[in-house]
Amino acid sequence: MTPAIRAVLFDLDDTLFDHSGSVRAALAQWLPHVPDADLGRLTDVWFDLEHVHYDSWRLGDISFDEQRRRRIRDFWPHLGRQLQPDDDLDALFATYLTHYEHAWQTFDDASPVLTELRRLGYLTAVLTNGAATQQNAKIDQIGLRDQLDAVITSEQLAVAKPDPASYQGACQQLRVEPQQTLHIGDRSDLDVLGARAAGLHALHLDRNDAGAADTEERITSLHDLMTRLTTAAAAQSS
Does residue 45 share a domain with residue 12?
no
Does residue 93 share a domain with residue 193?
no
**89 in any annotated domain:** yes
Does residue 233 share a domain with residue 167?
yes
Question: Which domain-ending residue is among 80, 102, 124?
Answer: 102
Does residue 159 share a domain with residue 219?
yes
Report pLDDT for 238: 46
Q: Is the peptide bond before 178 cis (omega within 30 degrees of 0)?
A: no
Does residue 196 share a domain with residue 97?
no
**1 in any annotated domain:** no
Residues spanned by the domain of 137? 7-18+105-237
d(CA 181, CA 117): 13
Does residue 12 share a domain with residue 128?
yes
d(CA 196, CA 202): 6
Does residue 207 share a domain with residue 133?
yes
Does residue 230 share a domain with residue 161?
yes
Report pLDDT for 230: 78
Question: Which domain-ending residue is among 52, 80, 102?
Answer: 102
Does residue 117 share a domain with residue 29?
no
**195 in any annotated domain:** yes
**66 in any annotated domain:** yes
Does residue 187 share a domain with residue 129?
yes
Ordered per-residue pLDDT tens for the chain, 238 residues: 357 999 999 999 999 999 999 999 999 999 988 888 899 999 999 999 999 999 999 989 999 999 999 999 999 999 998 898 889 999 999 999 999 999 999 999 999 999 999 999 999 999 999 999 999 999 999 999 999 999 999 999 999 999 999 999 999 999 999 999 999 999 999 999 999 999 999 999 999 988 765 566 899 999 999 888 877 665 555 4
> Across the beta sheet with 123-128, what order do the strands follow?
150-153, 123-128, 7-10, 181-185, 201-205, 218-219
Does residue 156 share a domain with residue 42?
no
CATH code of the domain in which 212 resides:
3.40.50.1000
Report pLDDT for 227: 87
Does residue 179 share a domain with residue 63?
no
d(CA 45, CA 39): 10
DSSP-derived secondary structure for the chain: -PPPP-EEEE--BTTTB-HHHHHHHHHHHHSTTS-HHHHHHHHHHHHHHHHHHHHHHHTTSS-HHHHHHHHHHHHGGGGT----TT--HHHHHHHHHHHHHHT--B-TTHHHHHHHHHHTT-EEEEEESS-HHHHHHHHHHTT-GGG-SEEEEHHHHT--TTSHHHHHHHHHHHT--GGGEEEEES-IIIIIIHHHHTT-EEEEE-TT--S-TT-TTEESSTHHHHHHHHHHHHHHH-
Report pLDDT for 234: 55
DSSP-derived secondary structure for 161-199: TTSHHHHHHHHHHHT--GGGEEEEES-IIIIIIHHHHTT
Domain count, the chain: 2
d(CA 160, CA 139): 19
Report pLDDT for 1: 35
